[in-house]
Structure 1
Amino acid sequence: MLGFGTIAKKVFGTANDRKVKAARPLVDKINALEPEFEALSDEGIKQKTEELAKRAMGGESLDDLLPEAFANCREAAKRALGLRAFDTQLKGGIFLHQGNIAEMKTGEGKTLVATFPAYLNALTGKGVHIVTVNDYLARRDAEWMSKVYGALGLTTGVVYPQQPEGEKKAAYACDVTYATNNELGFDYLRDNMKSELSQMFQREHNFAIVDEVDSILIDEARTPLIISGPAQDRSDMYATIDKVIPDVADEHFTLDEKTRQVSFSDEGNDFLEERLTAAGLLPEGQTLYDPESATLVHHVNQALRAHKLFTKDKDYIVRDDEVVLIDEFTGRMMAGRRLSDGLHQAIEAKEGCTIKPENVTLASVTFQNYFRLYDKLGGMTGTAATEAEEFREIYNLGVVEVPTNRPIARIDEDDQVYRTAREKFEGIVAEIKAAHDKGQPILVGTTSIEKSEALAEMLKAEGITYNILNARQHEKEAQIVADAGKLNAVTIATNMAGRGTDIQLGGNVEMRVMQAMEENPDADIEAVRAKIEAEVADEKEKVKAAGGLYVLATERHESRRIDNQLRGRSGRQGDPGRSAFFLSLEDDLMRIFGSDRLDKVLSGLGMKEGEAIVHPWVNKSLERAQAKVEGRNFDIRKQLLKFDDVMNEQRKVIFSQRRDIMMAKDLSEVTKDMRDQVIDDLVHDYMPPKTYADQWDTEGLAESVKEHIGLDLPVVAWAAEEGVDDDDIRERLEEAADKYMAEKAEAFGDETMRNVEKQLLLQTIDAKWREHLLTLEHLRSVVGFRGYAQRDPLNEYKTEGFQLFETMLESLRSDVTKKLAQIRPMSKEEQEQMIAQIRQQQAAAAAAAAGAAAPAAVAEATGTVREGFDENDPNTWGNPGRNDSCPCGSGKKFKHCHGRLA
């Protein structure tokens, strides 16, 4: 019997059905315009863009322009790429423009879909960012789709790591810019560490379309982006602590695999105290419970985590004396990414690699807070519905499932559950052999490099040829995925499963044409293409007859989304296909979530060796376990975000202040207000209101004025005068300070003084913000314990974080005032003397490094002084790039010398 909910859905349709239906009239309008746009010349299409842009900038809404813009874009794509967008692709584009996530299955042409809303929103002249999961896809999509944007008269840019600064700036200035989420986030942080507006790359955050939105906004959103600088070197301590950990016995610690937490027991603490005292790390008589031991306890805990929670070839690989992290969601190497808080150093000590110094945070932002900067956000993926609540709650994004262009013909088998991993893998090899014998291509999904290589060995023993795709073969990814749909192909892949590249039955025509042209550049491309298309079409029919692509997963993931992603590789555009999951009670998910009960049930059923249980109930039970894990992970991310929101409000204030300072021509009023506030505070502290003159500390005030304002004033004599109160003293101090600074401005020259004020303000803000970030990190690590006192850690963090921010702003005023009071112009003799001294030091250092036999190297390292260079006048420095030689002639890079951020 059908439930009321099911009956209502049949009568009224679901909310998703209604959204899809509402887009139909718009699609009909676009289709009705098609003949009119087909009649346009190539130049006419570009002219249409100019006309639409004028109307958009003149105030006409983008929603009104949508049918014409989409029709123009469809025609341009048809001419540039030979691809005419299906109605379902237009619907996907409409939902993206409306600020939703368009859930579209693999092979539905998401790359083309993005061009429609990107074109429409770029008409405002504010720029559009298209975000991809890796640099390869950013470059590939930008190159491929630039043909469409070019035909429409728009410019396309791509941003990638280590890009020359001029090229990167030009890419951000384009109408449509392709980039990875990491590069966008890091450029945002770098921009807000610059000292000139002209050096900033990013424009306003207008509209972003995030490809593989679930991967970027959910999987990768657990860890913030951090720009850091080196701290003191403590490699000896890591190495010494690491020697202790292998001797730690099971009773010395507790491990919770569900929450990935590990901690020492009381017995473990006693054992550690004994061993660390013997190693000289813990002073005699001091215990691990003493406040002085906090840093040591932190590093011992990190070493324990490194040994018990992080596994080689699963969480990281060791390559060229370097620990390289592996993304748990995509299986890709994350070169350059390091774990914070000394954890990476603990893993380096464990693996015997060179231990690199820890870093201190200079700037950080979470992906959640970066992407919430955009006025409008849209996203595309094949799998978003299971996380719809998180997208709505955190990003205010709706999820719309876009129907497939053709019905799905894939067969999804029930899970097969074996008792042991050995039986499971024997079953998998038998299944692969059976499918391989009839020519069916197979994509085998594994959860780690270790497991993919173990399975590969088993297949080798059976004489089955295969391709393996994991972090070690990262560079060949596109090629391996392109071949995965060929007859008899066996592809073993870790989680990544080749996001962004279609697995086409019979092979990928484009990839094969590219290969053929590389081998023989003089060949006729049309003839080559025709020949390859015929071969692929013939092979595709054979693959279809064999059952299409078979996706065989060797384990379930914590997230249903990643399982659905893998499943979705098969059955694109109505192709036949098949998917199955082979599991065992020894798998991580099964082991952690109640496999004991299932083991008893299976034993009761009298299962024989090598037998598997297959039943829809098992699938349901597993999905419930996965939903629990997803819910817990969402709570973790939500909690992380709540804490980061506190810092985010402060970050916005600091970054907007920096921007205002960079835009301002004259900051003398700002520095005067700061100076007056400092004087006000000093008078208030030494001459408190409602006190008598004999209670004033005028000597202390005179000393503080000398320290902060740089003036030796007769404050004691002033205070002794008849009828003088605190307001009179305040006025006299302000007047003397203003006069002193006016004389200084005259000596420097007005323009130079304004520049000095600007640079000083920026450098002091940056230094204070760095200190503040470190203080907040420490506060965050201890505030959790307030829960034991029945106080909400988040509220405590908000209150104390706000107080710390106010304290930081107060010390900022004081520091800027003090520094401005201390600076003075250098005499010509002093400048020449200092330059000669720098040259001498550099020459001596270079000679010591290179030996007496290399005078040429010394001359090169010393460099030349820029003509008219003045140490105290940044206007005389020219405009060197961060990596250019410093104009002072030190031979150092500018960023390590006079361009160094304080």
Structure 2
Amino acid sequence: PVLVGTVSIEDNEVMHNYLTQAGVPHEVLNAKNHEREGEIIAQAGRKARITVATNMAGRGVDIKLGGSPVEATRRDEVIATGGLLVIGTERHEARRIDDQLRGRSGRQGDPGETRFYVSLEDKLMRVFAADAIKRVMGTLHIREDEPIESSMITHALENAQKRIEGFNFDSRKQILAYDDVLNTQRLAVYTRRNAALFGTEEEVLALVQSFVASDEQAMAAFEAKRKEFGDEVFTLMLRNFVLQVVDTFWLEQLETMEYLRRSVSLRAYGQRDPLIEYRREGLIRFNVMEENIQQTIREAMPHLMLSDDARIREEEERTRSTLVAVSDEQGSTPQQELKKEEVPSRNEKVTVKKGNETQEVKYKKVESLLKEGWTLVS
């Protein structure tokens, strides 16, 4: 059995076309026919079976010699031929992937062999190892159409792969350094956002008070609104308002930082480190965002109004308090008292009773009926 490993799906399809034109029966294992992937892998170890696969297909699954289900006769026939032959059409940029392909053969003590074929036109060779190979060919006087088998070639390939791995590592490290700058800002923003969203009444009021303390007019408006609406309703208003303001400016900050990240690389032409410039400019933009958030809250404080949703919640809270008070006056059992989370919506139908008379009304009308002597049944 032969397993042909290709670098990409495109190369996989090219190899498939070559084998088809040559009339060689084979199976194709790539991401496009994943429905049959299990079946193809199960039978890839049969005698004379050819499977063309990408490096991603079927990873983590052993190819059993002789196919599945395992039969001693078929297995012995495959072992007699030398086991699984793995052919790599070219070297990958990462040695790890080459090693994974090599590991397909010789699993669990089974016999097998691996062979890689490399062209000087491969990207890896063309970009990173062309000079070394040319020197070898010139020294040994090798013709262009003559295959080369040399440890020097293998060494040059490994060096090229190490250079690419080092380059990719530096790239990831650079990306992480840029992400750390934005992550620091994200933590600061979400700390404040969570304080407004999940904080207690005292914490929310103290947070907003710290924003408006430097403006006498905004501070006076803050105290006036607090007395007008009460701490509970006013806190609800402030939660919604602060979240809206923070979210708006944070979205703008994300767009600004993305634009800055794309453009800061040009600073290198002026002998400046792009990362340091990104940190410095990012901090300036973040401070501007912070000031804009506080300024917006200060300017809007005198004009802060009670939204319809907040009014509805306030009415429901007042109705709930009335229900509990009426129930206490009528000597109801504790089971009849409504908890806050059990209060129906304003338009939900409920049943009320007065003597032998019962009615179904919307919950928003219950408060007035209770004052007339009606009792809430359900």
Q: TM-score, normalized by length of structure 2?
A: 0.74
Partner of 2:152: 617
Contact 2:221 2:301 in 1 (8 A): no
Deviation at 1:556, TM superposition (A): 0.8
- 800 and 444 in structure 1: CA distance in 2 versus 1, 3 angstrom threshold: same
Matched, 1:738 2:248: no
Partner secondary structure for residue 580 of structure 1: strand
C-alpha RMSD of the superposition: 2.8
SS of the equivalent of 2:52 reads strand
Does 1:824 pair with 2:302?
Answer: no
Whole-Å Cα distance in 1 between the matches of residues 46 and 195 of structure 2? 58
Q: For the structure 1 residues 751 and 452, does the alpha-carbon distance in structure 2 shift closer, same or farther, using more than 3 Å as the test?
A: same
Residue 20 of structure 2 aligns with an amino acid whose one-letter code is: K
Shift of 1:444: 0.9
What is the one-letter code of the residue matched to 1:757?
A: L
Counterpart mapping for 1:500-899 below 5 A: 500-508=60-68, 532=69, 535-595=70-130, 598-599=133-134, 601-602=136-137, 605=140, 607=142, 611-666=146-201, 667-677=204-214, 679=215, 705=217, 709=218, 734=219, 736-746=220-230, 750-825=231-306, 868=346
* Equivalenced residues, count: 313
Q: Deviations over 1:454-497 (max 9, x none)?
A: 21122123332111122322444344333322332211112314
The alpha-carbon deviation at position 622 of structure 1 amounts to 0.8
Aligned pairs for 1:166-565 (under 5 A) are 441-508=1-68, 532=69, 535-565=70-100
Distance 1:458 1:785, change over 3 A: closer
Q: Which amino acid aligns with 1:676?
A: A
* TM superposition shift of 1:576: 1.7
1:537 CA displacement = 4.2
CA deviation string 1:537-589 (max 9, x = no partner): 44333322222222110011121122112112222222222111011111111
> How far off its partner does 1:668 sit?
1.7
**Aligned equivalents of 2:209, 2:144: Cα separation in 1:** 84
Match of 1:397 in 2: none
TM-superposition CA deviations, 1:379-403 (whole Å, max 9, x none): xxxxxxxxxxxxxxxxxxxxxxxxx
Write the deviation string for residues 334-387 of structure 1: whole angstroms up to 9, x where unpaired: xxxxxxxxxxxxxxxxxxxxxxxxxxxxxxxxxxxxxxxxxxxxxxxxxxxxxx
* Local SS of the residue matching 2:118: strand
Amino acid corresponding to residue 672 of structure 1 in structure 2? Q
Deviation at 1:451, TM superposition (A): 1.9
Change (3 A) 1:461 1:787: closer
1:673/1:495 Cα in 2 relative to 1: closer, same or farther (>3 Å)? same
Q: Residue 809 and residue 476 in structure 1: after superposition, are their counterparts in 2 closer, same or farther (change >3 A)?
A: farther
Gaps of 5+ in 1: 1-440, 509-531, 681-704, 710-733, 832-865, 870-902
Structure 1 contact 445–497 (Cα < 8 Å) conserved:
no
C-alpha spacing 1:594/1:764, structure 2 compared with 1 (3 Å): same
1:659: Cα distance to partner? 3.2
Per-residue deviation, 1:610: 5.5
With over 3 angstroms needed to count, the CA separation of the structure-2 counterparts of 1:742 and 1:601, relative to structure 1, is closer
Alignment check: 8 A CA contact 2:6 2:90 kept: yes
Give the Cα–Cα distance (whole angstroms) in 1 for the partners of residues 61 and 346 of structure 2: 56
Query: CA, structure 1 residues 548+659, in 2 after alignment: closer, same or farther (shift >3 Å)?
Result: farther
What's the CA shift string for 1:786-822, capped at 9, x where partnerless?
Answer: 2222222222211221121122112122223444543
Structure 1 pair 550–756 and aligned structure 2 pair: CA distance change class (3 A) = farther
What is the alpha-carbon distance in structure 2 between the residues aligned to residue 553 and residue 655 of structure 1?
49
* 1:593 aligned counterpart, secondary structure: helix
Counterpart contact for 2:31–2:57, Cα < 8 Å = no
How far apart in 1 are the matches of 2:222 and 2:103? 71
Query: SS at the partner of 1:562?
Result: helix
Task: Tell me, in whole angstroms, the C-alpha distance in 1 between the residues paired with 2:40 and 2:194.
Answer: 47
How far apart are 1:599 and its partner, in Å?
4.3
Cα distance in 2, alignment partners of residues 617 and 739 from structure 1: 81
Cα displacement (A) at 1:608: 5.9
What are structure 2's unaligned runs of at least 5 residues? 313-343, 348-378
Task: Report the CA distance between 1:594 and its aligned residue.
Answer: 4.0
Q: Indicate the residue corresponding to 1:403 in structure 2.
A: none
What is the identity, as a one-letter code, of the residue corresponding to 2:223? K
Distance 1:827 1:475, change over 3 A: closer
**Deviations along 1:180-225, whole A, 9 cap, x unmatched?**
xxxxxxxxxxxxxxxxxxxxxxxxxxxxxxxxxxxxxxxxxxxxxx
Decide whether aligned partners of structure 1 residues 784 and 536 sit closer, same or farther in structure 2, where only a CA change above 3 A counts.
Answer: same
**What residue identity is the alignment partner of 1:868?**
R
Instruction: State the shift of 1:606 in Å.
Output: 5.4
Tell me the amino acid that sits aligned with residue 15 of structure 2.
L
Q: 1:541 to 1:661 in 2, by over 3 A?
A: farther
For residues 577 and 753 of structure 1, do their structure 2 counterparts lie closer, same or farther at Cα, with a shift above 3 Å needed? farther
Q: Does the residue aligned with 2:60 lie in a helix, a strand or coil?
A: coil
Q: Secondary structure at the match of 1:584?
A: coil
Letter in 2 for 1:783: V
**Greater share of helix:** 2
Alpha-carbon distance, 1:771 to partner = 0.8
Per the alignment, in what secondary structure is the counterpart of residue 56 of structure 2?
A: coil
Preserved CA contact (<8 Å) 2:129 2:160: no
CA contact (8 A) 2:222 2:301 kept: no
> Structure 2: how far apart are the matches of 1:807 and 1:608?
66
Counterparts in 2 of 1:623 and 1:673: CA distance versus 1, 3 Å: same
Amino acid at match of 2:121: E
Structure 2 CA distance for aligned equivalents of residues 538 and 548 of structure 1: 14
Cα shift readout 1:617-650 (whole Å, capped 9, x = no counterpart)? 2101110111111111111111111111111111
Q: CA deviation at 1:603?
A: 6.3
* Distance (whole Å) between structure 1 residues aligned to residue 83 and residue 244 of structure 2: 62
Q: 1:448 to 1:742 in 2, by over 3 A?
A: same
Question: Larger radius of gyration, structure 1 or 2?
Answer: 2
Kindly indicate whether the alpha-carbon contact (under 8 Å) linking 1:744 and 1:824 is maintained by their aligned counterparts in 2.
no
Question: Percent of pairs identical after alignment?
Answer: 41
Q: Indicate how the Cα distance of structure 1 residues 754 and 564 shifts in structure 2: closer, same or farther if over 3 A, else same.
A: same
**Do the aligned partners of residues 539 and 821 (structure 1) sit closer, same or farther apart at CA in structure 2, a change above 3 Å counting?**
farther
